Structure 1
Amino acid sequence: MAEIEWMRLTAAELNARAAAGALVIVPVASLEQHGPHLATGVDIVCATAVAQCVARLLGERGTPAVVTPCVWTGLAEHHVAFGGTVTLDYAAFAAVLGGVVRSAARAGFRRVMLLNGHGGNAEAVAVAATELSVELGIAVAAGTYWHLAAEAIAPLLDRQPGLLHACEAETSLMLALLPEAVRRERMAEAVGPSSTRVAGQPAALARRRSFKELTPSGVIGDARTASAEKGERILAAVAERIATLLQNEALWR
């Protein structure tokens, strides 16, 4: 199988991928608290795994893709009160994304996907994609993996309608991808409210609050029914859905 990781390819090999019209996938994440039972690198691990699985599926289907190393820090101010969290302000975050995408464009790539794995980044990556598309004259798309694959995730969960935070879905993914980062003896405590919104707040109304105000455990959702097997099924379903989306040539014209 062809190598898909940018950092494992030589400059000449990357030049050849660019000339062949390869898609660059940039996993974007965060380093932050994930409840009492998960290590802080959840979003890094999950975003990277999803990006790599998507790239491999695309390659098998004749669409070359390369995956950069993860942009590992993002907008996580709402987790800072718990400790263990690294955050950027928007200007710094946008500058990092811009530097990565401009570098890809200067290397000859004409299509870039910012594949986000942290809820706090969702709006920011969409704005960055629009601005960079205009500036560089290349096709830059952006999306958060569980938003792009919501219909694929929902049937696989027992206690939640979708992926939340340090929840059934994320814990299952970590049990499948990096089980040593899960503190199984603390999973009984890994439960919280089912939403970050207060009563009467519609999804369309944004109002960021500290997670410390919303959930004493740092969890949104219920991780107690998580399993590695569920995580494997979630990863496969998400990768399949996103790969299919990215194969749509109309998206890139």
Structure 2
Amino acid sequence: MSQSRLTELTWREVRRAGERGIALLPIGSQEQHAGHLPMGTDTLLVEEVVDRALDLLDREAPGASEGTGAPVPEIVRLPALPFGHSPHHLFAAAVSLSAATLGAVLDDVLDSLVTSGYHRIMVVNGHGGNDEIMRLAVKRFALRARVTVAACSYWTLTAGGDDAGRPDVTPGHAGWFETSLMLAAHPGLVRTPVPARTPVEPPPLFDRPPHPGLTVERHGEWERVDGSTDDASGADADRGGRLLDDRARGLARAIRAFDAASR
């Protein structure tokens, strides 16, 4: 695979790569992650998954994808967009874009890439509050520009292995899943020991709706649960490493599939 970082390319190299390559944009956030994880957790984790996925593709035999003989995609990795839609975390601390602003930023970035010669773009998200906005931005942009755009949130892509995680707390927020991943990827940034989460009554509704299919938001929930969705005290670095590898393999497969479908 030919893998490049946009920041390190000349404009002529950017143009050449755009003729056949895929521009890949990670997006994250800067927001509270309880008392034990840093503000940039979402950005750090999406970058980690993206970089591991690109390393996996790089290790493939030149010119072949999983032995199929299909070309391996050329990827140009953009710098991660570090800010997302995080008004629900402003009770503590966050740097948040409004939904309209984040949509406009994504639209401008996509438009810039198309103008610079790219016709295939993939957005990989690391923050739950960005997901709906990202998907709407991608859908709207493809209606008006001759481009093929894909979007995903990294935690939804698994390789189907035995260690896909705990669905009951995945992805959660500042809980077992994210803390395990951070212990594997950036252990020096995790404040330890990680305290046990104190249960609250009544339980929050944002991630446990009272009926399947409902989206429920209740005022003041995030502050009431002290900024996390579940108990992170049992987080495990080894498990986190396996979870990161699983998501990276899933993303690598998604990139290959997008490449094959959009040539």
Compute the TM-score of the two structures, normalised by the length of structure 1: 0.86
Change in 2 beyond 3 A, CA 1:117/1:211? farther
The answer to whether the aligner puts 1:8 opposite 2:8 as a matched pair is yes
Change in 2 beyond 3 A, CA 1:16/1:250? closer
1:56 aligned residue: 55
1:237 aligned residue: 246
* Inter-partner Cα distance in structure 2 for 1:230 and 1:25: 27
Q: How does 1:42-81 map to 2 (within 5 A)?
A: 42-59=41-58, 60=60, 61=65, 62-81=72-91
The answer to whether the aligner puts 1:112 opposite 2:109 as a matched pair is no
Offset of 1:194 from its aligned partner?
8.7
Deviations 1:26-47 (A, max 9, x none): 1111111111110110001011
**157-166 vs 9-18, greater mean Cα deviation:** 157-166
Quick one: which amino acid aligns to residue 166 of structure 1?
A
**9-18 vs 232-241, greater mean Cα deviation:** 9-18
1:162 aligned residue: 170
Offset of 1:226 from its aligned partner?
1.6
1:98 pairs, out of 107, 110, 130, with 107
Offset of 1:165 from its aligned partner?
0.9
Kept in 2, the 8 Å contact 1:4–1:65? The answer is: yes
1:200 aligned residue: 210
Quick one: which amino acid aligns to residue 90 of structure 1?
A
Change in 2 beyond 3 A, CA 1:93/1:216? same
Kept in 2, the 8 Å contact 1:189–1:217? The answer is: no
1:41 aligned residue: 40
Aligned length: 248
* Inter-partner Cα distance in structure 2 for 1:241 and 1:78: 29
Quick one: which amino acid aligns to residue 16 of structure 1?
R
Deviations 1:105-152 (A, max 9, x none): 111111111111111111111100011111211001111111233955
2:229 aligned residue: 220
Show structure 2 runs of 5+ residues with no match: 66-71
| Paired residue secondary structure (1:25) | strand
Offset of 1:156 from its aligned partner?
4.8
* Inter-partner Cα distance in structure 2 for 1:66 and 1:103: 14
The answer to whether the aligner puts 1:144 opposite 2:143 as a matched pair is no
Change in 2 beyond 3 A, CA 1:114/1:72? same
Quick one: which amino acid aligns to residue 4 of structure 2?
I
1:85 aligned residue: 94
Show structure 1 runs of 5+ residues with no match: none
1:188 pairs, out of 184, 195, 217, with 195
Which one has a bigger Cα radius of gyration? 2
* Inter-partner Cα distance in structure 2 for 1:211 and 1:31: 20
Offset of 1:54 from its aligned partner?
2.3
Compute the TM-score of the two structures, normalised by the length of structure 2: 0.83
RMSD of aligned Cα (Å) = 2.6
* Inter-partner Cα distance in structure 2 for 1:67 and 1:194: 38
Change in 2 beyond 3 A, CA 1:87/1:50? same
* Inter-partner Cα distance in structure 2 for 1:195 and 1:50: 29
Offset of 1:67 from its aligned partner?
1.3
* Inter-partner Cα distance in structure 2 for 1:191 and 1:27: 33
**211-220 vs 25-34, greater mean Cα deviation:** 211-220
Quick one: which amino acid aligns to residue 77 of structure 2?
V
- Identity, % of aligned pairs? 31
* Inter-partner Cα distance in structure 2 for 1:139 and 1:73: 24
**173-182 vs 128-137, greater mean Cα deviation:** 173-182
